[in-house]
Every structure is written in structure tokens, then in C-alpha cells.
Amino acid sequence: MQSEIQSDMQNPPTVAAIIVAAGRGQRAGGGVPKQWHHIAGQSVVQHTLDIFASHPRITEIVLVVAAQDRTLVDTLTLPPHASIAIGGAERSLSVLSGLNAIQADYVLIHDAARCCVPPDVIDRVLNALQTAQAAAPALPVTDALWTGEHGQVTGVQDRNCLYRAQTPQGFVRQLILDAHGTHAEGSADDVEVARRAGMDVTIVQGDARNLKITTPADFARAAKLLETRMDIRTGNGFDVHRFGAGDHVMLCGVKIPHSRGLQGHSDADVGMHTVTDAIYGALCRGDIGQHFPPSDPQWKGAASDIFLNHACALAREMGFEINHMDCTLICEFPKIGPVAAAMRTRMAQILGIDIDRVSVKATTSERLGFTGRGEGIAAMATVTLIKGAAS
């Protein structure tokens, strides 16, 4: 049977991802279920979420967690198109809970414990769904297979036609929802549910890196895969502060005597703020106002290196190194040239990188606009973060 949802360039079919994370991880052990363990700078489930959140075709994500793990969700950074559902005692019940929470035409069902899934595995499943009603990645069995009993080989098993199943497993949403309604009992995965309901399932090429954390030794294997995967990110920042009364401005951590000061809740270091925002942008972790709300009195008059240090620490915690920073200050006055070297030195110190990777420059706006009229200073910055092989 062909997929019932045809591709339409005007109205492309929508795709949801269900990430099942409600298991207890008994074989992996530890104080919390395996998907809540931290490896390579963040929880297993956060790694998995990030992979699906950055996939351009996925418009809806449901993370299914156990009721007793609900508070752990607060430790996650959820993308805006994600929601939470509560799972059940069996994997199939967790999947059903996710299926009941989505609307999309197609659904990808994925184990949170497969936190190293390469994006091209997701692509292969989605491509297969253009013509199939169900598709899943798998690897052919390459080792010889035996049967055994009491430590003795009792026979050999033909390995031809045997595959090791992986996720994400992709389906036409309505078909797998119907299948779960009647055929889910005792199933290991959703392909089994689909086949029992009479669906054809296309096999696509899996990937050896798409391991499922199952035993304690798998944490180190997964961490190594995540740490050696190269991830290069670029973030940009933009900020403006208005001039007011005062006798100096703080710019990129340097105090410059001036006939006016910059207004702001903190020390109004517009250069440092924009670099901070560029780092949060590269990390996809919001912006400076979200981490340090202007409504919070504790940041009144605060030195802005507090904010930049926080962004740098977050980058390191997520396994990134800051590779390069370029900041442009836009103002007629004060003149930046004489203090640019001091600014680079201070910024390099906070960023923890060589000064040769730090650029601070300035431009006027030809007396045009608010910066040209001397009403304030604007700043923009770009940072590059690297995780993995190249760092």
C-alpha cells in the first residue's frame, strides 16, 4: 500500500517527533534513569532533544517522561515547538501518550536513550516516508550467530535477513495511532506494532553511532561519540544603550572617560552585552535578558563581566570552546581606536582565549541615525563556538 499522504509542494506534510523518555533504565543502573544522566556536558535526553530540535523538517516535538520524573523537565532547555506528555509502565504506553498529543501528518518515534543519532538517519527515514507508510533504520547483522545453552554452542543461526533495529521509526501518524489502539501489547517497538496491524515497513540504512544506552558501559561510548562529533556554531548579538548623564562609559570592560555616560540597568557595557548575547545565540540558550532579567534588582549597576562569564561557563558546560569573537562598536564618540587594544585584552581574558582570536573595532554611522546624532551607542558581535574534533 502506498503512503496515503502525498507530497504537495504548496502544503508539505508536517512531521512530529515523539521522544520516549519514561523508562526506568534498570539495566544501565545509577541514581536516576539513564536518560537523565549527564554526559558530554548535558543530560542524555537534552542531547537527543537538541538533535531533533535542530532538524528543519520537524515542526512538533513531544517529550514523554514518567510522572515521577516530571520535575526533572525543569532542568531541560526545551525548544519552543516542544511539549511534554506523561508516559506509562510499558514503552508502548509511553508512545501512545505521545501519539495522543500530536497532530502532524507523519511521526518519528525515537528512544531518548539513542542520543547520538546522526541527522542523516532521520533524513533517510523521512525520505522513505515519501512513498512508504512506515520506515525504520536498521543495521544488517554482521557477526555469525549461534544458539547456545549452559555455556555451550548448540547450533548456528542463518544471519541473512537479520537486522538490528534502531529508531527513529517513522509512520503515517493516523495509521500508527490506529495500530497502537489494537496491536501494541507486549511489543518491543513500533515497527512490531505496525507489522501486527498489517503495515509494510521499509528498512533504511541505520548507523553504528546510533547506539541505545542500555548498560553502564554505554555511557562512555555515547559520551565519546558526542565529544568527537564536530559542531561549529556561529552566534550574533546586537545591543543599544542610550547616553545620559555621567563622566565615563564602560565598553568591552574598559572604563573610558567621557562627557556622558550610558544608561542601563547594569553598567551598560553595550559591547560586553552584545558579545554575551552572541554566545547565548550560538548555544541557542536565549538571551541576556532571560538569564539576567532587568526587573531583578540584584543586577542594578552590576559589572557586565558577570553576564559574559555566565555565557562562557554555559558554553564550556555544553562542551564548546570559544574559537573567535568579533565586536563592532557603532558611535561617533568616544573614539575607540586608542582603547581598542585594552578592550581586546580584557575581552580575551574573560573569554579565556588568545588575543589573536579577539577583534574589537568601531565605525561611525556617518552622523546618520541615533548613533550619528550621539544619542547612544550600538554594538554588534559575532562569535564562533566549536565542539568536537576541530577544537
Ligand X SMILES: C[C@](O)(CO)[C@H](O)COP(=O)(O)O
* Interface with ligand CTP in residues 105-124 (CB under 6 A): 111-113
* Binds ligand X (CB under 6 A): choice among 60, 189, 207, 287: 189
Q: Which residue is nearest to ligand CTP (CB)?
A: 23
Distance (Å, rounded) from C-alpha 97 to C-alpha 66? 11
Per CB under 6 A, 384 contacts ligand CTP: no
**Segment lying near ligand CTP (by CB under 6 A), choices 54-62, 85-93, 286-294, 338-346:** 85-93
List all residues 6 or more positions away from 76 whose beta carbon is below 8 Å from its beta carbon: 43, 45, 46, 49, 63
Give yes or no for a cis peptide into 294 (omega within 30° of 0). Answer: no
3-state secondary structure 113-149: CCCCCCHHHHHHHHHHCCCCCEEEEEEECCCCEEEEE
Output the smallest distance, CB 133 to ligand CTP, in A.
23
Q: Which residues are documented as binding site for a divalent metal cation?
A: 239, 241, 273
Per CB under 6 A, 141 contacts ligand X: no
* Count of residues in contact with ligand CTP, rule CB under 6 A: 23
Distance (Å, rounded) from C-alpha 274 to C-alpha 281? 10
Which partner, ligand X, ligand CTP, none, binds residue 165 by CB below 5 to 8 Å per kind? ligand X
Cα→Cα distances 203→132, 166, 215, Å? 10, 10, 26
Collapsing DSSP to helix, strand or coil, 176 comes out as helix
* Interface with ligand X in residues 92-111 (CB under 6 A): 111
* Interface with ligand CTP in residues 40-69 (CB under 6 A): 64
> Rounded to 5 degrees, what angle do the CA atoms 201, 205, 211 make?
105
Distance (Å, rounded) from C-alpha 197 to C-alpha 181? 10
Which partner, ligand CTP, ligand X, none, binds residue 89 by CB below 5 to 8 Å per kind? ligand CTP
* Binds ligand X (CB under 6 A): choice among 42, 167, 304, 382: 167
Helices (H), 251-320: 270-283, 288-291, 305-317
C-alpha grid cell, residue 34: 539513564
Which partner, ligand X, ligand CTP, none, binds residue 64 by CB below 5 to 8 Å per kind? ligand CTP
Distance (Å, rounded) from C-alpha 279 to C-alpha 310? 10
Which partner, ligand X, ligand CTP, none, binds residue 21 by CB below 5 to 8 Å per kind? ligand CTP
Per CB under 6 A, 162 contacts ligand X: no
Residue closer to ligand CTP by CB (options 22, 225) is 22
Tell me how far the alpha carbon of residue 244 is from its chain's centroid. Answer: 40
Per CB under 6 A, 139 contacts ligand X: no
- Name the site residues for ligand CTP (rule: CB under 6 A): 20-28, 33, 35, 64, 87-91, 94, 111-113, 212, 214
Site of interaction with ligand X (CB under 6 A): 111, 165-167, 188-189, 212, 214
